[in-house]
Amino acid sequence: MEIIDIKDHHSNNKVIIQNRLNEFSEIIKRNNEKEIFRELCFCILTAGASAELGIKTIDHIGDVIYNGTQEEIVSKLKEVYRFYNLRGNYIFLARNNFDIKVLNLPHIERRDEIVKRIKGIGYKEASHFLRNIGYKDYAILDKHILNCLHEAGILENNKPPKNRNRYLEIEETLRNFSKELGIDFDELDLVLWSLKTGKVLK
């Protein structure tokens, strides 16, 4: 992958990417706790799976995430999702462990606290969640982003970060790369992701 490919893709898709980011920012403005929790559950479901499957699954299970028992959540997940027991448990636990007040923390602490509180959520999905509800300046270092950075010669390899320090290190590398390209950091994430997938999802 060449730098010119990234710049061209950004130029050709800038409007749709900016519109998608604006859609995300509307969620935090509405400050609807159910809507925010739904996005958290979506990110629990996309960990190790595709965004398409996450969208399909969260739509299918519906309101059971808000008031269902663990058994009811698992039962609905089982109809469409492979890891129904594990992720059903994570969603059930998240309902008790997630506090919307965590979103008032400073930038770094906000993500750290979500990782600490929510079982099944690491730094990638915590970043995914925060981006999807409208927070800025978090890198979602999934395989597509890492592959792009490796192919562009920005990273020596495409291995996922194994700990917090490595995640922050790669995130800073991506931030510097965005400055070199002259592309907004949050837009660059969607540029690289859509370069690999052909889609601008969430």
Give the pLDDT of residue 198: 78
Positions marked active-site = 124, 142
Mean pLDDT of 174-184: 96
Instruction: Give 141's Cβ-side CA count (13 Å radius).
Output: 27
Q: Are 51 and 38 in contact (CB under 8 A)?
A: no
Q: Which domains are seen in the chain, by residue range?
A: 3-26+139-197 (1.10.1670.10), 32-132 (1.10.340.30)
Q: Residue 127 phi/psi, 5° resolution? A: -65, -40
Phi, psi of 134 (to 5 degrees): 110, 5
Helices 123-132 & 33-46 angle (0-180, nearest 10): 140
> How high is the pLDDT of residue 202?
57
What is the value of pTM for the model shown?
0.94
For residue 178, what are the contacts with CB-CB under 8 A and spacing of at least 6?
184, 185, 188
Measure the CA–CA gap between 84 and 95, rounded to whole angstroms.
Answer: 16
The 10s digit of each residue's pLDDT in 135-145 is: 999 999 999 99
State the average pLDDT over residues 165-171: 98
